[in-house]
Amino acid sequence: MIKYIINAISQGLAFSRTEAKGTFILIIIVILSITSFKFISTRIKNETMNEYDPSELATWVEEVKASYSSRPPKTVDKYEAADNWLSKEKEIPQPISKISSETRIRKEEVFEKPRLIDLNSANAVELQKIRGIGKAYSERIIKYRNMLGGFASVDQLHEVYGLNAELISKIEERFPILSSPKKLEINSDSVKVLARHPYISYDLAWVIINYRRQNGDIENFENLKNIRALSDSVRSKLRPYLD
């Protein structure tokens, strides 16, 4: 029987007799391995099922039920319940009306309006705190303020190159004019000093000097009307720096 199977393998697969014997042995080994695996698996399964006893599970469940049913129901003392309620009541946040005045003052300090600073004494860093006012604008404002001798009106900010109405409005809110500008010594200032003022050109400064030489000191603002080279608009701008 075995020789017949070996001959069949040799002829069917064109193997030599030695190759046919090896193939036959390999087939036998595979069959034995499969059979052994099935046998062992079946035996383990049977042993596990035999070890499991359904009656033990039922007994454990009954014991658990009995332990819970034997416990007395929990009672809540009315005084204990009241104490618990009061302790929770203490944790409830107080209404807004009961907030201490000290806490309210601290909140008001946080939202307090920024401190007002005199435009005629503000420095570049303070001016730059306004949104839209950078280093260039702050330096222009201070430079023009120094040339004027101080601002007499917020409207003079329109004379600073680049400042628009929106920025000027923001400056006015934070930097009002709280001090008077420096006065011109029109009867003693030299041509260079007078011409340094933005409202007085170099030619106008000479006119003022010559008027002083011919007519003496300018005693009041009305005397400026006698200087024909001084227009009404310039004279009006100069008034805060002369009175």
pLDDT averaged over consecutive 10-residue blocks of the chain (243 residues)? 69 71 80 79 63 65 69 58 58 53 54 80 95 95 96 95 94 94 93 94 94 91 89 92 83
pLDDT given for residue 94 in this prediction: 53
Output the CA angle 169-170-171, nearest 5 degrees.
Answer: 90
- What is the pTM assigned to this prediction? 0.53
DSSP annotation of 117? -
Q: What sign has the CA pseudo-torsion 175, 180, 186, 188?
A: negative
pLDDT given for residue 66 in this prediction: 74
pLDDT given for residue 33 in this prediction: 81
- Closest Cα partner for 225 from 211, 241, 210, 213? 211
pLDDT given for residue 164 in this prediction: 94
Indicate the helix (H) or strand (E) that contains 214: helix 202-215
pLDDT given for residue 138 in this prediction: 96
Taking the domains of the chain in order of start, what are their residue ranges? 2-47, 124-174, 191-241
pLDDT given for residue 39 in this prediction: 74
CA atoms within 13 A on the CB side of 229: 13
Retrieve residue 224's tokens.
Answer: 């400026």
d(CA 223, CA 221): 5
pLDDT given for residue 201 in this prediction: 94
CB atoms < 10 A from the CB of 206, how many?
A: 14
DSSP annotation of 114? P
